[in-house]
């Protein structure tokens, strides 16, 4: 599999919200060619000053780009963006890569992978941990699920937007890890924080792999 590069690939980004905007901006500033789409066109138009272009529809974006990223607020929004008649799956070219960064249920990620595969697309679920300022500074943490070789080819994207990125296993593992992290943050994780850095990392990765990966295989990048 060929690595994704600034010179040879064109990115499409669906969802220019609080997290999508700084991520897309960093990709543009690093030299990637990027087309943006958001239902509120003014949000996508904010990226023009950084060299981005604006799509009038998801269909236009999907047919114009060979790597589609999305960062959307809900499972319903994600499924609509991909499954609708004017969505990504109906218009993306065979061989294109999809990287969904939305916080969704693992079943949704697995469904996207299955539907994408039927269309000749490769789908990764690469979820985000971090705040808007973290995204602006390229210091996010990413949790990835999907094909390992394909994940590795997207490292040029991950390096720009994240300080750390983890490959956890098959599709759904990235989404599962994000839910685990959100749950721990929601209930408070003082006990977890008392553990050493390495023990915390192993606990979190172990939970995600045990939950969604029958034969876990994972790698840690940018330790």
**Rounded Cα gap, residues 64 and 10, in angstroms:** 8
Catalytic site residue from 33, 43, 178, 190: 178
Which pLDDT score is estimated for 190?
54
Is the distance from CB of 35 to CB of 9 less than 8 angstroms? no
**Rounded Cα gap, residues 145 and 42, in angstroms:** 32
pLDDT digits (tens, 9 = 90+) for 65-96: 999 999 999 999 999 999 999 999 999 999 99
Retrieve residue 149's tokens. Answer: 């070789």
- Burial class of residue 65, CB neighbours in 10 A (0-12, 13-18, 19+): buried
pLDDT digits (tens, 9 = 90+) for 176-186: 888 877 776 66
Neighbours of 56 (CB within 10 A): 10
Specify the pTM.
Answer: 0.85
pLDDT higher than 60, residue 104: yes
Range name among 2-11, 127-136, 212-221 with the lowest pLDDT average: 212-221
Active site residue 163: no
How many angstroms separate the first and last alpha carbons of the chain? 24
Nearest Cα to Cα of residue 133 among 22, 3, 220: 22
Retrieve residue 107's tokens. Answer: 């079943």
DSSP SS3 for 163:
strand
C-alpha pair distances (Å), 185 with each of 139, 152, 157: 19, 29, 27
Neighbours of 145 (CB within 10 A): 33
């Amino acid at each position: 599999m060929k690595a994704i590069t600034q010179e040879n690939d064109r990115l499409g980004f669906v969802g220019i919200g609080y997290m999508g905007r700084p991520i897309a901006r960093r990709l543009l500033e690093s030299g990637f060619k990027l087309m943006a789409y958001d239902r509120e066109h003014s949000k996508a138009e904010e990226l023009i000053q950084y060299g981005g272009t604006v799509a009038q529809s998801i269909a236009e974006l999907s047919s114009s780009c060979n790597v589609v990223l999305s960062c959307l607020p809900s499972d319903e929004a994600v499924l609509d963006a991909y499954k609708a008649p004017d969505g990504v799956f109906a218009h993306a070219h065979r061989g294109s890569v999809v990287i969904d960064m939305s916080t969704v249920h693992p079943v949704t990620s697995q469904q996207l992978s299955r539907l994408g595969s039927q269309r000749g697309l490769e789908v990764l679920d690469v979820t985000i941990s971090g705040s808007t300022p973290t995204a602006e500074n390229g210091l996010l943490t990413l949790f990835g699920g999907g094909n390992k070789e394909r994940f590795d080819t997207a490292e040029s994207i991950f390096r720009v937007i994240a300080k750390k990125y983890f490959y956890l296993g098959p599709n759904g593992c990235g989404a599962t890890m994000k839910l685990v992290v959100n749950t721990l943050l929601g209930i408070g994780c003082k006990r977890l924080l008392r553990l050493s850095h390495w023990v915390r990392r192993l606990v979190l990765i172990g939970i995600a792999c045990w939950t969604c990966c029958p034969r876990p295989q994972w790698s840690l990048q940018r330790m």
